[in-house]
Amino acid sequence: MKFILAISLCSFVNNTCLPPVEVIKPYNSWKECSVAAYEISKAMIIAQQDPYVNNNKLATKFTCSEAGVI
């Protein structure tokens, strides 16, 4: 079974998220997808400016869905 990762950057200040970005690569397991999500989340947060992250209390939200299941 393959899994597809979708990840969004979210603000806890105004309780909104950017539209999710789907990662093209299919993952071979739930664990592989989840670990990738945390790695990508870290990169997404690091790529933002400190004041933007801190002022908006940014975090990510992700889902790992079975490929072919909507």
Q: Which domain holds residue 49?
A: 3-20+29-66
Q: Could you tell me the pTM of the whole model?
A: 0.87
Distance CA 31, CA 1 (A): 12
pLDDT at 70: 53
Distance of CA 28 to the CA centre of its chain: 18
DSSP 3-state assignment of 51?
A: helix
Measuring CA to CA, which residue among 5, 31, 2 is closest to residue 20? 5
Asked whether the beta carbons of 1 and 69 are under 8 A apart, the reply is no
What pLDDT does 69 receive? Answer: 64
Query: How far apart are alpha carbons 13 and 21 in whole angstroms?
Result: 21
Which tens digit of pLDDT belongs to each residue from 11-69? 999 999 999 999 989 999 999 999 999 999 999 999 999 999 999 999 999 999 998 76
CA distance 8 to 40: 10
Count of structural domains, the chain:
1
